[in-house]
Structure 1
Amino acid sequence: MQDSLPVGTLIDDRYRLVRLLRKGGMGEIYAAEHVHTHRRVAIKVLRSPWSRDPVTRERFKREAQATSQIVHDHIVEMLDFGVTADGACYLVMELLYGEDLQATLLREGRLPLRRAAAIILQICSALAEAHRHGIIHRDLKPGNCFRTGFRGVQDFIKLVDFGIAKRLPRTAEAHHDSHEGAALTTEGTILGTSFYMAPEQSTGGPIDHRIDVYAAGVVLFQLVTGKLPFRGSTPSDTYRLILTAEVPSARKLAPEAELPAAIDELFRKALHKNPDRRFASMDELADAVATVAAQVPKDRLKGESAVLAVQTAAAESRRGLRLVGTVALAAALVTALAIALYFGM
């Protein structure tokens, strides 16, 4: 296995590696600096022999293309893509500081509903924009939702890792996608994570944007209960539960959270095994999340992030406007802020 690149390595005579951020099975992520502009960035380097594998190289290129097409406050900014003289593929992205939601869950266990709702509303907004560009993420999970903060907003979310993103299937493409989707059922690969896969995704069936709706529902379930809705002792057991078991009651799994009664109905719809009976879009899911979160008594809101009030109000009164609303305006004022990167590979 190839060793990590040493600090100081120059990539394409433009980016000097400053620090190793994370080492994965197929490559590494580094903090780096552009040698001319001195801008700090993050570089994701695909290690040999993966850099020479045509399928992996294509997925890497797809990540660059998918992310660069979507300009959104809650999606990591893609800055560059290239191949070094020795054949190593690399992606250059904005540098983020903070942690992913998986780390937050490991530390805190679960989050208050309205705080979790504020996070999910941002994710819904990002995915809605991706879907408008005809791109589905296919690997939404807490580890791919990076949490940072600025100006008192502790939970500003950046959606990362579009490595297995795909164009929404159309006619012949849908048939091709169904075969490729079968590979997503392999637990522990870069192609997906079993706990967040919709039934049609876990069986290799035809997929569309509603698998992202399903995954967002799973993430919200985990945020408010600290538990996954379907988790077997093996990947096979997990897939069986996803395909056959009823959605458990979040209120019963986390009675101490005092969740509103309506939340169980929200999860039954978001995680429905039939995609035709799920929320039809990320915007529709966002409206339902905001409505349920608004039922939390005001005397339980003390100390929660100010962002939830802004985003809940935006979702409730949007009437066709983009959900990001006021938060997008605030984010525009801080674009110069170097934010965090912590990608899964």
Structure 2
Amino acid sequence: MKKPLPTRSDKGQASRPGTVVDPLLGQRLGDFAIQERIGEGGMGVVYRAEHPLIGKQAAIKVMRLELASPQQARRLLVEARAVNAIRHPGIIDIFGFGSLPDERPYIIMELLQGRTLSDFVRSKERMELESVVWVMDQMLAALGAAHDAGVVHRDLKPENVFVVEDAKIPPSIKLVDFGIAKLMESRDTTPLTSEGFVIGTPEFMAPEQINGDPISPATDLYAVGVMLFQLLTGERPFQGKPLQVMFAQRDQPPPVPSSRVPGIPRELDALVLHLLAKEPAARPASAEKVRARLKRIPLRSAPHAPSTAKRGAPPAASRKDAGGSTAEIREALKALRRPLSPGWWLVGALVVLCVSATVSRLRQAEQHPSTPPAPRPTNHPPQPTPAPPTKEQQVQRIQEVLDQIDRRSQGTTPAKMKRELLDLIDTAALTKTQEEREIIEKEIQDW
């Protein structure tokens, strides 16, 4: 007898030893029967499934119950539509969409064998130049097809670039996770996020994404520039916490790759800087133009697929989701990132200003006391005065507060945002006196 599909009471069940078996195992979604759970992340769970009659393998991504909503279901549907609008071998194929009885949406897509590009950059080692050119050429071919179909990915990063490794076919690159892609010429004007929200991964976001300005294919090319820099040097052009990186990508000139790794061809230095231009119009005209410039880079041998054999990376066959994740890379399951509002980063800047002002007042009070209190006789030695927090300690504490703010931000209103911020400021002890707290409260309310 066929078991019923899970309901909301099944939330949190997993297939780990000693726990209740995942109720989706053995169930049919569409034409496919779920065989095993192969990955999970912040946004969903991924299963390997099989067509019971013809034996075709597939991956099924099911959104987490606590995140399921009509808006999130719509994002998954946009991903499926975007992929099918492109129809390119370098784009993962999605061929099914639906919802469970408890309203969790799911998509059915091809099951990839291999690993994400993040496996190759995790060790912070440089990738061989011939492999860099191979990866970039294939990735840009798929990206150009997406742009020609009117689709901007908006979240390009190593976790969303999949290196297919299958003994039966030559290695290749697949772009995955189009969950926040924008159909540039879509007639459906219903927003997928609240007005003014920004979607993307901070370390790979273009300045126009950070500012909440219109996006275009040039937005994806900026992310290509960040990835190219990372593959060539083993690190991204801007380092630090997400907030720091976002401001740097918007305001600071990028470093030249050869300044990090001497010997990188000048042609690649120029290409990376061209891709990382702050203004979208100043970047290369198209993905195909970038491919053409890569083909002119002098190489010692023919371009070839990268290898992690020397780094001990385990094979990822049958351990990935349709977005290219392995069990070890949980980030790749975050195909549909929660929106980040520019307002939160303005609030962050406000916190920095307020705390700086507070520290300044404290130091002034220490240096110029108005009426120093008379010393009291005591038998105990005086306790040393605690040193004021360093700039690094302030920044770290503010970042911790901002991380908490970001976790609370989804779907909030400006009024609730201000209340949450004041609550977190109190919890973090960013103010020392009631007067300082009132000053900051007034600044936030005025904001």
Q: Normalization by structure 1: what TM-score? A: 0.78
Q: Distance in 1 between matches of 2:170 and 2:140?
A: 18
1:130 is aligned to 146
Q: CA deviation at 1:150?
A: 4.6
Which of residues 31, 48, 70 is equivalent to 1:14?
Answer: 31
- CA gap of 1:177–1:113, structure 2 versus 1, over 3 A, is farther
Unpaired stretches in structure 2, ≥5 consecutive residues: 1-10, 15-21, 307-316, 326-331, 335-447
Deviations 1:252-279 (A, max 9, x none): 2122xx2111211111111100111100
Q: Secondary structure at the match of 2:277?
A: coil
Q: Distance in 2 between matches of 1:178 and 1:58?
A: 10
2:71 is aligned to 55
- CA gap of 1:66–1:338, structure 2 versus 1, over 3 A, is farther
Q: CA deviation at 1:180?
A: 5.0
Q: Which amino acid in the other structure matches residue 72 of structure 2?
A: T
Q: CA deviation at 1:154?
A: 6.8
Query: Are 2:262 and 1:252 equivalent residues in the alignment?
Result: no
Q: Which amino acid in the other structure matches residue 182 of structure 1?
A: F
Which of residues 274, 277, 281 is equivalent to 1:272?
Answer: 277
- CA gap of 1:77–1:338, structure 2 versus 1, over 3 A, is farther
Q: Secondary structure at the match of 1:149?
A: strand
Unpaired stretches in structure 1, ≥5 consecutive residues: 185-191, 308-336
Q: Secondary structure at the match of 1:49?
A: helix
1:188 is aligned to none
Q: Distance in 1 between matches of 2:138 and 2:37?
A: 29
Alpha carbons 2:39, 2:319 under 8 Å: kept = no
Alpha carbons 1:180, 1:204 under 8 Å: kept = no
Structure 1 segment 160-179 matched on structure 2, within 5 A: 160-168=176-184
Alpha carbons 2:155, 2:201 under 8 Å: kept = yes
Q: Distance in 2 between matches of 1:150 and 1:168?
A: 34
1:239 is aligned to 246
Q: CA deviation at 1:221?
A: 1.1
Which of residues 214, 217, 220 is equivalent to 2:222?
Answer: 214
Alpha carbons 1:31, 1:95 under 8 Å: kept = yes
Q: Distance in 1 between matches of 2:273 and 2:70?
A: 40
2:289 is aligned to 284
Q: CA deviation at 1:49?
A: 2.9
Query: Are 2:58 and 1:41 equivalent residues in the alignment?
Result: yes
Q: Distance in 2 between matches of 1:177 and 1:265?
A: 36
Which of residues 210, 216, 224 is equivalent to 2:232?
Answer: 224
Structure 1 segment 123-162 matched on structure 2, within 5 A: 123-150=139-166, 155-162=171-178
Alpha carbons 2:74, 2:192 under 8 Å: kept = no
1:305 is aligned to 304
Moved more, 61-70 or 11-20: 11-20
Alpha carbons 2:50, 2:56 under 8 Å: kept = yes
Which of residues 174, 177, 183 is equivalent to 2:198?
Answer: 183
Which of residues 19, 23, 31 is equivalent to 2:48?
Answer: 31
Q: Distance in 2 between matches of 1:225 and 1:163?
A: 29
Q: CA deviation at 1:166?
A: 0.7
Q: Which amino acid in the other structure matches residue 209 of structure 2?
A: Q
Q: Distance in 1 between matches of 2:254 and 2:142?
A: 26
2:100 is aligned to 84
Structure 1 segment 85-100 matched on structure 2, within 5 A: 85-100=101-116
1:317 is aligned to none
Query: Are 2:130 and 1:120 equivalent residues in the alignment?
Result: no
Moved more, 142-151 or 27-36: 142-151
Q: CA deviation at 1:250?
A: 0.6
Query: Are 2:89 and 1:73 equivalent residues in the alignment?
Result: yes
Q: CA deviation at 1:183?
A: 2.8
Alpha carbons 2:153, 2:180 under 8 Å: kept = yes
Q: Distance in 2 between matches of 1:208 and 1:153?
A: 34
2:19 is aligned to none
- CA gap of 1:156–1:171, structure 2 versus 1, over 3 A, is closer
Query: Are 2:279 and 1:262 equivalent residues in the alignment?
Result: no
RMSD, matched Cα: 2.9
Q: Distance in 2 between matches of 1:12 and 1:44?
A: 11
Q: CA deviation at 1:13?
A: 6.0
1:2 is aligned to 12
The structure that has the greater radius of gyration is 2
Alpha carbons 2:171, 2:305 under 8 Å: kept = no
Q: CA deviation at 1:179?
A: 6.8
